[in-house]
Amino acid sequence: MKVSDCLEFDHIVIGSGVAGLSSALHLAEAGGIVAVLTKSDIDVCNTRFAQGGIACVLDKNDTFDAHIQDTLYAGAGLCKEDVVRKIISAGPEAVNELISRGAHFTTRGEMGEMTKKNEFDLGREGGHSRRRVLHAGDITGEEIERILIEACHNNPRINIFKYHIAIDLIIDRNKGYGPGPCVGVYALDRKEKIVKTFRGLTTTLATGGSGKVYLYTSNPDVACGAGVAMGYRAGAKIANMEFIQFHPTILYDPKIRSFLISEAVRGEGAVLKCRNKQGRLVSFMEKYHPMKSLAPRDVVARAIDSEMKRSGEECVYLDITRHSEKKLRRRFPNIFRKCLEAGINMATDPIPAVPAEHYVCGGVLTDVNGTTDIPGLYAVGEAACTGLHGANRLASNSLLEAIVVAKLSGEDIYRKIAMFKTLARNTSVSGWTCGNATDSDEQVVISHNWDEIRRFMWDYVGIFRTNKRLQRAKARIKLIRQEIEKYYWDFLVTPDLIELRNIACTAEIIIDSALSRKESRGLHFNSDYPCRDVEMDYVDTIVQRKF
């Protein structure tokens, strides 16, 4: 395995979704030289698949207090109210910054309504009491990613390293106690097969989600929990990883993989239905929540899971046939097109749907500025746990958090830049060494463990949990982790091995977090503890590596 010399930058950002690219832009525009590491092409990330939009108070009939209350209610007593207030209040300014960079969001005029010029078409999604979701048709994430990529390419201070997969953070442990400052990251250049050492004054984890820990997910293949796993191995605190959001409605079709039917479809009046004994489609959400099909995602996902188990059916259905084909094509052009590929016309046919892993509300513990407890290490986006989402993310709050916290983290870094420069002068970075590792002749170990982890996480640590299921999962992951760690030190690193190691680490953190919470709250439902424990309000689950 070839090793490169140390590459030095002011700041390193790992990940190229909205949180990572926004962070890079703010750091570069403040005068820093930035390296952005992305494990594939720059646009392969969760952001590109975000259909719904950005939840933001832009309508005169909406208020910050209403958005805050909706977020706190969805978060089930685990949100940090000061963080919620700060992020929501900063939303309009952050959105206007995206618009000034060239982002285009759908207006009511484009939807065929007679309104004032450039008045935004604000959608409503599950858990929201008002229409406040700014969108670009049903490809909002793709639109935001487009303008951020363009801005990064046009900024000479930003250096983009495609096909570079981060292995581990570089922590200076010569300070005598606990994890010392983070001074960079080791990364594998996938094309050149070289391990490179990147050194920076700060390192920002913006690696996105952990969807590939589960068998069924809406996430792209790159979402392997890298930020959480690397943060944990470095000694950072990891918070609330038991709260895994399962999106209620992924298109159920064997030909089309992991395609999400946006919550905005329910926001526009789609009704969830299942087949009764007579074979007729009937609504069922009124049995589970007063908001019916607009209930928060955790309620909807559990309701769908319950109905599927009760009926033995392989899916439920989203019925939005109340709207004309013209309106649906205009509002949901991408979803309409995908459904047609599956032989479904949304205007005349109910859409078959099933739940799948979608979003992790936990992550590397940070404050509202993305600051972790390791000097020089920041985390933003889905890799972080700021306290905004609590036990259940309110729909479309994730893009809002990503753009706001990215800006706040950049400001925080430059307030502390003198301290980071002092730390850099007093720390050293050693190059990567592969020791006695050799090329592997047992790739089957990687593929087998990859499949086994994802299957038992789906079966035992999914929407519906029990102590027995969690304990089974813990027994399996403990053995697999030991096997993977031995394999990791015996054989040279490959992209598959790096991702398997991260998936296994993240899976164990999820299991340990779920076992430690002796109640049901938000996205975490354990039938052995079916009730919420009020004494656990505002109490985070913290997992931290012992050295």
| CATH code, 344 | 3.90.700.10
* One domain, residues 366 and 221: yes
* One domain, residues 265 and 168: no
Range of the domain at 283: 249-357
pLDDT tens digits, residue range 232-259?
Answer: 999 999 999 999 999 889 999 878 777 8
Tokens (6 digits) for 470: 């969690």
* One domain, residues 140 and 263: no
Percent of the chain with pLDDT over 70: 96
Give the pLDDT confidence score for residue 115 in this predicted structure: 65
Give the pLDDT confidence score for residue 441 in this predicted structure: 59
Give the pLDDT confidence score for residue 264 in this predicted structure: 86
Give the pLDDT confidence score for residue 389 in this predicted structure: 97
Tokens 């589960």 locate to 214
For residue 297, indicate whether it is catalytic.
yes
> Rounded to a whole number, what is the largest CA-CA distance in the chain?
74
Backbone angles phi, psi at 36, to 5 degrees: -110, 120
* d(C-alpha 377, C-alpha 453), whole Å: 29
Position 527 in a domain: no
* One domain, residues 369 and 311: no
* d(C-alpha 352, C-alpha 363), whole Å: 32
* One domain, residues 78 and 132: yes
More confident residue, 3 or 214: 214
Give the pLDDT confidence score for residue 317 in this predicted structure: 97
Position 475 in a domain: no
Tokens (6 digits) for 165: 């997969």
Position 398 in a domain: yes
* d(C-alpha 134, C-alpha 57), whole Å: 9
How does residue 139 score in pLDDT terms, banded at 50, 70 and 90? confident
Residue 38, judged by CB atoms within 10 A of its CB (0-12, 13-18, 19+), counts as buried
Total structural domains within the chain: 2
Give the pLDDT confidence score for residue 38 in this predicted structure: 96
Measured CA to CA in angstroms, residue 504 lies from 283, 312, 450, 479, 489 at distances of 39, 31, 8, 10, 15
pLDDT tens digits, residue range 179-238?
Answer: 689 999 999 999 999 999 999 999 999 999 999 999 889 888 899 999 999 999 999 999
Active-site residue, selected from the candidate residues 132, 266, 297, 476: 297
Domain end marker among 425, 445, 477: 425
* One domain, residues 149 and 282: no
DSSP 525: -
* One domain, residues 339 and 398: no
* One domain, residues 316 and 396: no
Q: What angle do CA 221, 223, 226 make, to 5 degrees?
A: 130
How does residue 312 score in pLDDT terms, banded at 50, 70 and 90? confident
Cα 520 versus chain centre, distance: 22
Give the pLDDT confidence score for residue 175 in this predicted structure: 55
Please name the residues in contact with 250: beta carbons below 8 A apart, sequence gap of 6 or more: 216, 218, 258, 259, 260, 261, 353, 354, 355, 356
pLDDT tens digits, residue range 414-445?
Answer: 999 999 999 888 887 877 777 666 666 567 77
Backbone angles phi, psi at 143, to 5 degrees: -65, -45
Give the pLDDT confidence score for residue 126 in this predicted structure: 81
Q: What would the mean pLDDT of 141-147 be, rounded to a whole number? A: 92
